[in-house]
Structure 1
């Protein structure tokens, strides 16, 4: 439950573990479709994923939620596949399927026996350009996404607070708009909105095919050429261009009260650099920094300083960073106070820990332990073929390359304590932060002094 405070909600299932695959083949079809094939012959199973380089951050202004809305509508059928029959067909083969939308991408996947891969490509290629939408489909599914928002966001004070904080963090960039959309805009989405978005962006020259499992790369390429090769690209579809975030010159603070709050907490996020193709070193240092400050509930710096000892001030602390985004990301921490600690006192205590860290530097023993754990995580991640497929798909639709994905574990291992300390000095700037308090309305009022 607490992890919901730390990472943005992904509308679907998503794994982001760093990984390196030994048998990776790539190719690009003449129509622009990029493909990645990851071999794993331990079981006769394959994961087939189609990733589109289009997410909520690419939506037209005033049409928030359209990327997620279209994700739902993609299951409404074509001339050859009846509404609802796509998932039913996958299930009939003994497989499972789903889809998810995020800021930088939308993805669809099926996991089936290897000998069903051709069928999956047949159906996925069919709906890349052949989706049929009726007004009834649109009306029904629009009600579904509004109900989904009601359940996931409107009924959860932490989720509502997260929306407000993110909007404050990104004043100009579309990362400040929720993936699921603002309610009043999602309610107004139309069939023409969906079809316009679909016809422009659901195209082979805006997509990445990832196939992972018990497959032969040459056979996968032949299938891709047969099923995806004939699909016409969208003419004139260039690189994604988004507005940029202006420099943040002053800290932004939010305080929200809600009688449904079960646990009050203080959270702060700072604008931070993302992973960039060929230049992932700063992101690697921030990844290690997050682990040092709050990656472990018992051994991290925040945990040891605030959760244990004679006068603990927190029952939970964590730090987080995910640099896998096309544009600027964020770094942050969250802390939940003990019953007798105010949010003001807890925030001051966290700031004290951060100040001590910036003054005293990185503990070498903790640093070495984290580097070993990151290496172990990377090795274990190779055992999960679905996770590998998601790593490559999310990276390639977020501006990285196959080479970047494969280089990432070694870049993490090359990080030095000096790199981490410099990253902390660059990012942990209160003028570059959004600080938020969430508590119940009956909480004692405390004046914050800066």
Structure 2
């Protein structure tokens, strides 16, 4: 599990396997292969529907996005969105606990779900001729989810075990969890998606039912279907099963503005670990639209900066900190949170090499950004990262799952269905001068929170935790 702050990495940076990359000198300037354009419309009850035909294989992906995540919780109820995600597999008036998954498997499909700060998503990939079956199943549990209190108690223990295995037993995950709590004072991003254990201990079945009734309303959800499908047939099926769900108002959301930070923040976390670790989180602007505004332009330039620093093997951070006989770090990385429903961060992280300290790595990471601010970047660096992004857009089309997820993610952020094309166009426009400018303006102490993992001795006799109950995902 990657720690929460690393989740702000731009998805298309994370989806570029090195084996798929063109040679360093290659130039890819043409558009992606021609595809049928996605269609978007709304049902009478307010639910959004997005259809993306892709007829290269007889498979289809059906996804349901709900615009509710951990950021919609309140203090004392952290983890509720994630717990409810688990409970959505526990039944309806016509489907018993676990029966949803068994039915999808019997169709020859696979399915799962996920919860983030910004949204909750459910997906199934099935043979295209079984699409109606999963639409019927998903619409049923969206509208009629129900389960007994005892079922909730059992599943809550599964979530607690998930927290123990993925966070409590993972020093870096704990570091990022606490770093979020220090970085943000007002933003609900300060709470962990999985929830604080004390909140899980006090959570009730009725809490989850109330959360479901409040947020799982048609106007707060989108159905995304991609693959070998006929849009008109999809329209008939979606209207038949989802269109009959009664409309309800989406609860009002109160804007929460993070106060200005004045001075560097630092936190340290001690835990049994093999190596120390340091991460720097800088508050930065986020992309809110594709309009040319100073904030949007800076968010895009910061994304290019992150790729110049760490967007390919042998990029600036790698060359400067991890190579040579006197290297400072075993590994380094950088990432920019381009967009999200809440405030975003630019992160720099590193694992000190033997004999080196987190403070040395921290100083070296900041120096690399300062060097860009002084000297700028080369045209070759810009061309390289832009070429890789364009290549990634082409290779991305091989996966209908990726296509559906990108469409759903754009909807969650309130962006248009051609957000991927617009993003590529805007990134291609970023200049070396813009990258140099943001490197000089967003990396001061007043935007920075530093987190350091101080390793304690590891018990050589300690055995890895064995889950007492099965963890779904």
Smaller-chain TM-score bracket: over 0.9
Do 1:294 and 1:333's aligned partners in 2 also have CA atoms closer than 8 Å? no
Identify the residue that residue 212 of structure 1 maps to in structure 2.
Answer: 226
Identify the residue that residue 290 of structure 2 maps to in structure 1.
Answer: 278
Alignment of 1:51-450 (within 5 A): 51-235=65-249, 237-238=250-251, 240-259=253-272, 261-279=273-291, 280-298=296-314, 300-441=315-456
Do 1:201 and 1:234's aligned partners in 2 also have CA atoms closer than 8 Å? no
- Secondary structure of the residue aligned to 1:258 is strand
Aligned in 2, Cα 1:381/1:239: closer, same or farther, shift over 3 Å?
Answer: farther
d(CA) in 2 for partners of 1:4, 1:138:
27
Do 2:13 and 2:389's aligned partners in 1 also have CA atoms closer than 8 Å? no
d(CA) in 1 for partners of 2:13, 2:111:
15
- Secondary structure of the residue aligned to 1:240 is coil
- Secondary structure of the residue aligned to 1:376 is helix
Aligned in 2, Cα 1:107/1:5: closer, same or farther, shift over 3 Å?
Answer: closer
Identify the residue that residue 446 of structure 1 maps to in structure 2.
Answer: none
Q: Deviations over 1:42-87 (max 9, x none)?
A: 1110000000010010013211100000000001111111111000
Do 2:214 and 2:251's aligned partners in 1 also have CA atoms closer than 8 Å? no
Aligned in 2, Cα 1:53/1:27: closer, same or farther, shift over 3 Å?
Answer: same
d(CA) in 1 for partners of 2:396, 2:55:
16
d(CA) in 1 for partners of 2:93, 2:399:
36
d(CA) in 2 for partners of 1:49, 1:379:
22
Aligned in 2, Cα 1:311/1:16: closer, same or farther, shift over 3 Å?
Answer: closer
Q: TM-score, normalised by structure 1?
A: 0.92
User: What count of residue pairs does the alignment treat as equivalent?
Assistant: 437
Alignment of 1:12-31 (within 5 A): 22-31=36-45
Do 1:52 and 1:202's aligned partners in 2 also have CA atoms closer than 8 Å? yes
Question: C-alpha displacement at 1:14, in angstroms?
Answer: 11
d(CA) in 1 for partners of 2:365, 2:381:
19
Identify the residue that residue 6 of structure 2 maps to in structure 1.
Answer: 7
Aligned in 2, Cα 1:200/1:14: closer, same or farther, shift over 3 Å?
Answer: farther
Do 1:129 and 1:231's aligned partners in 2 also have CA atoms closer than 8 Å? yes
* Alignment gaps of 5+ in structure 1: 444-450
Q: Deviations over 1:244-296 (max 9, x none)?
A: 2111111101122212x122121101112222123443332121110111223
Name which of 39, 45, 52 aligns with 1:38. Answer: 52
Aligned in 2, Cα 1:310/1:83: closer, same or farther, shift over 3 Å?
Answer: closer
d(CA) in 1 for partners of 2:5, 2:186:
22
- Secondary structure of the residue aligned to 1:440 is strand
Question: C-alpha displacement at 1:6, in angstroms?
Answer: 6.3
- Secondary structure of the residue aligned to 2:202 is coil
Aligned in 2, Cα 1:371/1:16: closer, same or farther, shift over 3 Å?
Answer: closer
Aligned in 2, Cα 1:253/1:61: closer, same or farther, shift over 3 Å?
Answer: same
Provide the alpha-carbon RMSD of the alignment: 2.3
Question: C-alpha displacement at 1:398, in angstroms?
Answer: 2.3
Do 2:281 and 2:448's aligned partners in 1 also have CA atoms closer than 8 Å? yes
d(CA) in 2 for partners of 1:66, 1:244:
22
Question: C-alpha displacement at 1:378, in angstroms?
Answer: 1.4
Do 1:293 and 1:302's aligned partners in 2 also have CA atoms closer than 8 Å? yes
Question: C-alpha displacement at 1:240, in angstroms?
Answer: 3.4
d(CA) in 2 for partners of 1:302, 1:271:
20
Do 2:12 and 2:392's aligned partners in 1 also have CA atoms closer than 8 Å? no
Do 1:381 and 1:387's aligned partners in 2 also have CA atoms closer than 8 Å? yes
d(CA) in 1 for partners of 2:5, 2:313:
13
